[in-house]
């Protein structure tokens, strides 16, 4: 979740070189400070000097950034002798919006939201990728063509979302019992500028499992009312599962705990919670490694069906905003089997590239292989995270609404009316499809 992309619609940047985004910011901030200005000139000389450079913005920070640099960026720099000026930010949508408005966008961006990218494509800020990437390497649901016939993004990595994690020593009967106890769900809503998105994942998955991909897709593309029985039912089911508006201590824990920290509760004595509805990337958390985390399809625990009706998925999507020889090489590299396989090897996600096959070969293959195979299985229906596919303004309001609803369950009708009004705003960009289809 992130802010609505800013800036007026302008022509896509051309091939002319322009000052780096960081140099522009530096000069603005330190114009009145001689010492810092001198340092900025030294940095600028490096960026604008003899070393070819490509700018890249993504949301990976800390350990994820370290892994990304080691597995992907450094091999690219060694192979092509091109410096990657990488910026990782937990508020990358806001950063990107400001850079686009200032006329200093990065060359390449990695975003989770196809809805946000579709808006940038409509504003002519993105460049088509067909001459750099073969969309068939990823499939139409991952590298989709927009209404203008062009492909503007592809996934660097993907994750499965319709799953529930539990400690390795918790049996099926215990899981079934825990699912009916709100305190046993590990819920953390905090995520900085994008707080609330874990709540949207719950509501999306409940709707998908209870009513199927057709209803889910109608809603994700703006054709099903927020006040419909199906959508309202998804919200109230989430309320009952996690105790929205109930125990103040439980609500406070969910609202104050960052999504990446709530997993620690599975390692306390006694355990603070047992089940976590979260995407496949969460298994990389130290707590779940320590607890020997295993996963279950979400449907039996959320809506009491025997099996998932479809699988919610998400991805980190690569797009091109400024075409230079260096940027084109980086795009081709990120779409290559080498880069896709290397990033997947860091266990930060999975590749859906058709030539990168999951295989046994590491000690975690007992839980990773089934995830990878489910994510790629052509016999299953996969639906992209609905909020990430929605227009950014709707996505952000949805995330904020889940926070308010968790604290005030009696606000539901007002929240749904507000989301309905916003979704009916003219000029929003909606994707026409978010699900692939199970073959007949």
CATH at residue 68: 3.40.190.10
Residue 352, domain member (yes or no): yes
Is 80 exceeded by the pLDDT of residue 223? yes
- What is the predicted pLDDT for the residue at 367? 87
Question: With bands split at pLDDT 50, 70 and 90, how would you rate the model's confidence at 35?
Answer: very low
- What is the predicted pLDDT for the residue at 39? 34
What mean pLDDT comes out for the span 90-114?
94
Return the closest-CA partner of residue 194 out of 411, 4, 347: 4
What mean pLDDT comes out for the span 392-420?
97
Q: How far is 194 from 354, CA to CA, in rounded Å?
A: 32
Residue ranges making up the domain that contains 203? 160-312+384-423
Express each pLDDT in 186-220 by its tens digit: 999 999 888 999 999 999 999 999 999 999 999 99
Query: How would you classify the pairing of strands 294-297 and 154-160?
Result: unpaired
405 and 273 in one domain? yes
Residue 6, domain member (yes or no): no
The DSSP output letter for 262 is G
Radius of gyration of the chain measured on its C-alpha atoms: 22
190 and 131 in one domain? no
32 and 151 in one domain? yes
- What is the predicted pLDDT for the residue at 361? 53
* Beta carbons within 8 Å of 1's beta carbon, 6+ residues apart: 191, 194, 195, 196, 197, 200, 387, 388, 395, 396, 399
Please list the helix, strand and coil fractions of the chain in percent, rounded to the nearest 5, in that order: 50, 10, 40
Dihedral sign (CA 371, 375, 378, 379): positive
CA angle in degrees (0–180, nearest 5) for 310-160-223: 50
Q: How far is 256 from 253, CA to CA, in rounded Å?
A: 5
Question: With bands split at pLDDT 50, 70 and 90, how would you rate the model's confidence at 28?
Answer: very low
- What is the predicted pLDDT for the residue at 319? 98
| Contact present, 392 and 4 (Cβ < 8 Å) | yes
144 and 44 in one domain? yes
Instruction: Write the burial class of residue 31 (CB in 10 Å: 0-12 exposed, 13-18 middle, 19+ buried).
Output: exposed
- What is the predicted pLDDT for the residue at 41? 35
Which residue's entry shows tokens 């199927």? 212
- What is the predicted pLDDT for the residue at 348? 66
Q: What is the pTM of this model?
A: 0.87
Question: With bands split at pLDDT 50, 70 and 90, how would you rate the model's confidence at 38?
Answer: very low
DSSP-derived 3-state class of residue 85: strand
Is 70 exceeded by the pLDDT of residue 23? no
CA angle in degrees (0–180, nearest 5) for 133-138-143: 70
What mean pLDDT comes out for the span 160-168?
97
Residue 11, domain member (yes or no): no
Q: How far is 247 from 237, CA to CA, in rounded Å?
A: 17
Higher pLDDT, 306 or 81: 81
Q: Report the share of the chain in percent with pLDDT over 90.
A: 77
DSSP-derived 3-state class of residue 227: coil
- What is the predicted pLDDT for the residue at 148? 94
Question: With bands split at pLDDT 50, 70 and 90, how would you rate the model's confidence at 364?
Answer: low
- What is the predicted pLDDT for the residue at 6? 36
- What is the predicted pLDDT for the residue at 201? 98
Q: What does the DSSP assignment read for 181-221?
A: -GGGB----B-GGGTTHHHHHHHHHHHHHHHHHHHHHHHHT
| Contact present, 275 and 186 (Cβ < 8 Å) | yes
100 and 173 in one domain? no
What mean pLDDT comes out for the span 253-273?
95
128 and 233 in one domain? no
Q: What phi and psi, each to the nearest 5 degrees, are found at residue 154? A: -150, 160
DSSP-derived 3-state class of residue 362: coil
Q: How far is 339 from 319, CA to CA, in rounded Å?
A: 16
Express each pLDDT in 65-75 by its tens digit: 999 999 999 99
The DSSP output letter for 310 is S
Is 60 exceeded by the pLDDT of residue 47? no
Residue 259, domain member (yes or no): yes
Residue 54, domain member (yes or no): yes
What mean pLDDT comes out for the span 120-134?
96
Is 80 exceeded by the pLDDT of residue 5? no
Residue 214, domain member (yes or no): yes
Which residue's entry shows tokens 């979400």? 298
295 and 253 in one domain? yes
165 and 283 in one domain? yes
Mean pLDDT (the chain) is 87
333 and 210 in one domain? no
Is 60 exceeded by the pLDDT of residue 30? no
The total of structural domains in the chain comes to 2
Is 50 exceeded by the pLDDT of residue 290? yes
Least confident of 197-201, 282-286, 313-317: 282-286
What mean pLDDT comes out for the span 416-440?
88
| Contact present, 129 and 251 (Cβ < 8 Å) | no
Higher pLDDT, 34 or 84: 84
What mean pLDDT comes out for the span 134-142?
90
248 and 179 in one domain? yes
| Contact present, 107 and 54 (Cβ < 8 Å) | yes
- What is the predicted pLDDT for the residue at 32? 32
Element (H, E) at 398: helix 392-407
Residue 58, domain member (yes or no): yes
Question: With bands split at pLDDT 50, 70 and 90, how would you rate the model's confidence at 293?
Answer: very high
306 and 351 in one domain? no
What mean pLDDT comes out for the span 355-381?
81
241 and 141 in one domain? no
Residue 10, domain member (yes or no): no
* Beta carbons within 8 Å of 28's beta carbon, 6+ residues apart: none
């Amino acid at each position: 979740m992130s802010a609505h992309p800013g800036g007026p619609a302008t022509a896509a940047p051309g091939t002319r070189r322009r000052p780096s985004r960081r140099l522009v910011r530096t000069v603005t901030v330190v114009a009145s400070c001689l010492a810092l200005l001198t340092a900025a000139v030294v940095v600028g000389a490096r960026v604008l000097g003899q070393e070819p450079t490509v700018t890249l913005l993504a949301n990976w920070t800390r350990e994820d950034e370290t892994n990304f640099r080691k597995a992907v960026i450094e091999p690219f720099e060694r192979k092509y002798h091109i410096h990657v000026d990488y910026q990782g930010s937990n508020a990358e949508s806001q950063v990107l919006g400001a850079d686009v408005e200032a006329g200093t966008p990065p060359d390449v961006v990695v975003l989770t939201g196809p809805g946000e990218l579709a808006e940038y494509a409509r504003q002519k800020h993105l460049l088509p990728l067909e001459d750099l990437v073969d969309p068939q390497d990823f499939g139409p649901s991952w590298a989709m063509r927009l209404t203008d016939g062009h492909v503007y993004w592809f996934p660097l990595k993907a994750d499965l979302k319709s799953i529930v994690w539990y400690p390795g020593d918790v049996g099926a009967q215990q899981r079934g019992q825990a699912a009916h106890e709100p305190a046993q769900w590990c819920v953390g809503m905090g995520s900085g500028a994008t707080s609330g998105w874990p709540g949207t994942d719950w509501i999306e998955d409940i709707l998908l499992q209870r009513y199927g991909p057709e209803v889910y897709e109608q809603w994700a593309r703006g054709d099903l009312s927020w006040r419909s029985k199906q959508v309202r039912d998804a919200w109230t089911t989430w309320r009952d599962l996690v105790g929205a508006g109930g125990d103040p201590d439980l609500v406070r824990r969910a609202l104050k705990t960052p999504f990446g920290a709530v997993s620690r509760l599975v390692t306390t004595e006694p355990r603070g919670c047992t089940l976590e509805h979260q995407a496949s990337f969460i298994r990389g958390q130290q707590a779940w490694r320590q607890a020997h985390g295993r996963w279950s399809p979400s449907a039996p625990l959320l809506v009491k069906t025997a099996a998932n009706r479809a699988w919610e998925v998400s991805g980190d999507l690569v797009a091109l905003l400024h075409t230079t020889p260096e940027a084109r090489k980086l795009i081709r590299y990120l779409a290559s089997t080498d880069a896709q396989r290397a990033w997947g090897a860091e266990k930060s996600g999975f590749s859906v590239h058709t030539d990168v096959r999951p295989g046994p070969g590491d000690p975690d293959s007992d839980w990773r292989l089934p995830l990878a195979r489910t994510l790629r299985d052509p016999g299953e229906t996969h639906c992209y995270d609905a909020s990430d596919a929605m227009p950014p303004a709707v996505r952000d309001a949805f995330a904020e609404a889940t926070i308010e609803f968790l604290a005030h369950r009696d606000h539901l009708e007002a929240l749904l009316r507000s989301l309905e009004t916003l979704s009916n705003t003219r000029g929003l960009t909606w994707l026409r499809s978010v699900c692939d289809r199970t073959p007949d």
